[in-house]
């Protein structure tokens, strides 16, 4: 399936379907795999495939009812991979295109999934690729070692070392088991550099609170990595 992304915000649709999921983050240029099985979201994918292939990922503000309010900001992705399982599920990969603000919510329509009128105006920079953020790689490595140990996670360190700064922060922000509020804050960060700084602050707070901080994170002149 082709994966050409819209070259300008003007090429993005004004009305988009949204998939509300708490704790799930899609960022521009990131890739998010989804396992779709609810009938209304199967219909959403089918309708998107017939048109612009755009789906907006957005977090609900709560799970107290069947129709929770949505956060104001989400991120739209384009379906770049699609397959159907023998039991009728859709396996979809979205590639993040740009963030959007919800102008207002539209009627759900006959298929029952939620739709919004999207405002893309503040996010033209999302279409650009930034490769270098001047990350403090030794500090990030130490924070990641502590954080992954805390959560019992493994890591392909070769992939971490070879990734560009922006790709690395995008991927880590999406896959790390952060809470919904932290995910939303990362989404709403004004730029890639701000997001990177915020991400490392979140990790630093988590590992310091746990007492699991590796010595390579603690400052001082020795920035060597601990294993």
DSSP calls for 60-115? BS--SSSS--B-SEEEEEEEEEEEE-TTS-EEEEEEEEEEEEEEEEEP--TT--EE
pLDDT in tens, 144-161: 999 999 999 999 999 999
Q: Which of 126, 152, 169 is the last residue of a domain?
A: 126
Please report the pLDDT score of residue 56 as a whole number: 99
pLDDT in tens, 61-72: 976 677 889 999
C-alpha span between 93 and 206 (Å, rounded):
30
Q: Which of 126, 148, 166 is the last residue of a domain?
A: 126
Closest by alpha carbon to 92, among 75, 101, 103, 80? 80
Please report the pLDDT score of residue 205 as a whole number: 95
190: Cα separation from own chain's centroid: 15
Residue 190 located in a structural domain: yes
Please report the pLDDT score of residue 133 as a whole number: 80
Residue 131 located in a structural domain: no
Residue 54 located in a structural domain: yes
Please report the pLDDT score of residue 213 as a whole number: 56
The structure tokens listed for 19 are 């998939």
CATH at 34 = 2.30.130.40
Contact 94, 55 (CB under 8 A): yes
Q: Do 104 and 23 share a structural domain?
A: yes
Residue 4 located in a structural domain: no
Q: Do 116 and 148 share a structural domain?
A: no
Q: Do 196 and 102 share a structural domain?
A: no
Closest by alpha carbon to 70, among 198, 184, 186, 189? 184
Domain range spanning residue 15? 9-126
Q: Do 97 and 74 share a structural domain?
A: yes
Residue 72 located in a structural domain: yes
Q: Do 184 and 78 share a structural domain?
A: no
Q: Into how many domains does the chain fold?
A: 2
Supply the Cα-derived Rg of the chain in whole angstroms.
Answer: 19
Q: Do 121 and 14 share a structural domain?
A: yes
Closest by alpha carbon to 170, among 28, 13, 41? 28
Residue 144 located in a structural domain: yes
Residue 222 located in a structural domain: no
Q: Do 13 and 122 share a structural domain?
A: yes
Q: Which of 80, 95, 126 is the last residue of a domain?
A: 126
Q: Give the residues across from 106 on adjacent strands.
A: 115
Q: Do 183 and 161 share a structural domain?
A: yes
Please report the pLDDT score of residue 129 as a whole number: 81
Q: Do 144 and 83 share a structural domain?
A: no
Q: Do 155 and 121 share a structural domain?
A: no
Please report the pLDDT score of residue 37 as a whole number: 97
Q: What are phi and psi of 165, to 5 degrees?
A: -55, -50
Question: Residue 118: enclosing H or E segment and its boundaries?
Answer: strand 114-119
Q: Do 117 and 71 share a structural domain?
A: yes
pLDDT tens track, the chain, 227 positions: 545 666 788 899 999 999 999 999 999 999 999 999 999 999 999 999 999 999 999 999 976 677 889 999 999 999 999 999 999 999 999 999 999 999 999 988 788 999 999 999 999 999 988 767 889 999 999 999 999 999 999 999 999 999 999 999 999 999 999 999 999 999 999 999 999 999 999 999 999 987 755 544 333 333 222 23
């Amino acid at each position: 399936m082709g994966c050409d992304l819209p070259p300008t915000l003007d090429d993005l649709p004004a009305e988009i379907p949204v998939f509300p999921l708490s704790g799930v983050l899609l960022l521009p240029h990131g890739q998010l795999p989804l396992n779709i099985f609810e009938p209304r979201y199967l219909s959403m994918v089918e309708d998107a495939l017939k048109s612009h292939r755009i789906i907006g990922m957005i977090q609900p503000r709560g799970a107290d009812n069947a129709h929770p309010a949505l956060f104001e900001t989400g991120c739209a992705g384009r379906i770049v991979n699609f397959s159907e399982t023998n039991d009728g599920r859709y396996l979809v990969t979205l590639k993040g295109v740009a963030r959007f603000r919800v102008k207002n919510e539209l009627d759900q329509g006959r298929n029952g999934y939620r739709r919004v009128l999207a405002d893309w105006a503040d996010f033209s920079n999302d279409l650009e690729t930034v490769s270098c953020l001047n990350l403090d790689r030794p500090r990030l490595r130490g924070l990641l070692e502590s954080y992954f140990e805390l959560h019992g996670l493994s890591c392909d360190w070769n992939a971490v070392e070879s990734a560009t700064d922006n790709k690395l922060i995008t991927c880590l922000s999406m896959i790390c088991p952060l809470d919904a509020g932290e995910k939303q804050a990362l989404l709403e960060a004004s730029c890639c550099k701000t997001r990177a700084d915020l991400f490392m602050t979140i990790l630093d707070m988590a590992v310091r609170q746990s007492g699991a901080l590796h010595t390579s994170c603690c400052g001082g002149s020795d920035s060597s990595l601990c294993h």
